[in-house]
Amino acid sequence: MRSWPFRGRRHGQAHGVLYTVLSRFSGPDGGGSHRRGDHRSRTVGEPPVSRPDALLALVLVTALAFDFTNGFHDTANAMATSIATGALRPRVAVAVAGVFNLVGAFLSVRVAETVSGGLVDDAQVSLMMIFAGLTGGILWNVFTWFLGLPSSSTHALLGGLIGAVWVGAGESAVFFGAVFGKVILPALLSPVVGCLLALAGICLVRLVVRDPDRGPAARAFRIGQIGSASLVALAHGTNDAQKTMGVMTLALISGGVLAHGSPPPLWVVLTAGAAIALGTYCGGWRIIRTMGTRLTDIRPAQGFVAETAATAVILGSSRLGFPLSTTQVCSGSILGVGLVRGLSAVRWRIAGRIALSWVLTLPSAAAIGGGCAAVAGRGVPGVALVAAATVTATVWLAHRARRRPVTPDNVNDPFG
């Protein structure tokens, strides 16, 4: 098993990597004379940008921007049920989630290592491809946030990256066997496992507790939700924050800063954890409303069980190094606790829209990422066009969302 990347010799390497990235901007040749491994040939599809260091910086900033969207897009994973049952006030809930997301980012790097070298051939990946993949993930995240759909940020990121690498370097650069085994198969199984585990858990609660939805039992479960929701946020940090760490590490490998197979340096873990924590604190209220009130009516006992089941599944996948969709796990768990009251307790139209977004996310993000790669591959103008289009689309959707705002004050109104 690979050693923790912050100890001993690797700790010094982490600071050395940061120094290398920063020092290149003041190198004597202005084009990266300090690059480690200059013998590496230019990867297929990398645009002839005159200052590759500027492209590396752009990729790292874009990765953190994606991590921010991941945070506010997936806040609902941890806190939707606690907000819906009144266990936590909305602003307090997102603050708690932000803190635990940051802590979770430091607990493991196995998912990050899977993303940085387990799904694509890092020797064939260029900075342009990574940039295009990230823009594909950002655009899909913002679009589904606008619709209030809890789609998978994981599959948006991985789909964008796979599409961009496929277009830029060819299908040989994508390890489709690993994509199926570590992305698609867990995507099919995780919501089912989460649903069944939550359903079994709520049935057990009803056997042990006579009336879990009223009186002292309800108050106890509401208090327990504070802990269970915090654990979901912690688990989310161990899985989702690492995906951006993996992409940033892949960018540093492609830029010649890190050797192939290197783990994420300390500063990468710190910045990625901070970005997802900040995004979480901003709160994706539109998606929180969907998961907390529109899919099914959640009560304290159900919220506690759903969060506990989701935590178990997510932490298990993080231990195995699977880049799991926490959105799918949490949605499946909420569906499971709703089913205990019968099929009519679930709003199947909303569930169908969520399931459709899951099916569309990976191929749609791949198509967007591939399109961005084709445009960005034309050089500096192409990269600038993709960046400008991403910013414009994000601002436009955010402006449109303000016409029917969802805020902490109305987030528990399911049809407002």
pLDDT single digits (tens) 114-149: 665 577 787 888 889 989 999 999 999 999 999 888
- Over residues 257-267, the mean pLDDT reads 84
pLDDT at 390: 95
Nearest to 382 by CA among 66, 172, 164: 164
Give strand pairing partners of 296.
346
Helix axis angle, 215-254 to 52-85, nearest 10°? 170
256 in a structural domain: yes
371 in a structural domain: yes
Backbone angles phi, psi at 281, to 5 degrees: -65, -30
Q: Which pLDDT band holds residue 39 (cuts at 50, 70, 90)?
A: very low
8 in a structural domain: no
Could you tell me which residue, 314 or 27, shows the higher pLDDT? 314
11 in a structural domain: no
pTM, 2 dp: 0.79
pLDDT single digits (tens) 160-193: 999 999 999 998 888 888 888 878 888 888 889 9
Judged against a pLDDT cut of 60, whether residue 241 lies above it is answered with yes
Burial code (b: 16+ CB inside 10 Å, e: under 16) for 321-331 equals bbbbbbbbbbb
67 in a structural domain: yes
39 in a structural domain: no
The span from the CA of 406 to the CA of 402, in Å, is 8
pLDDT at 147: 87
pLDDT single digits (tens) 277-292: 888 888 778 888 888 7
DSSP states of 222-276: HHHHHHHHHHHHHHHHHHHHHHHHHHHHHHHHHTTSS-TTPPPPHHHHHHHHHHH
232 in a structural domain: yes
> H helices within 170-214, ranges in order?
176-179, 185-208
pLDDT at 47: 44
7 in a structural domain: no
pLDDT single digits (tens) 317-351: 777 766 677 888 888 999 999 898 888 888 888 88
pLDDT at 68: 92
Q: For the chain, how many structural domains are there in total?
A: 1
Residue with tokens 């654990």: 231
Q: Which pLDDT band holds residue 79 (cuts at 50, 70, 90)?
A: confident
- 1, 173, 402 from 319: Cα distances, Å: 12, 26, 40
pLDDT single digits (tens) 350-405: 889 888 988 899 999 999 999 999 999 888 899 999 999 999 999 999 899 888 88
**Domain residues for 201?**
50-401
Judged against a pLDDT cut of 90, whether residue 196 lies above it is answered with yes
Judged against a pLDDT cut of 70, whether residue 2 lies above it is answered with no
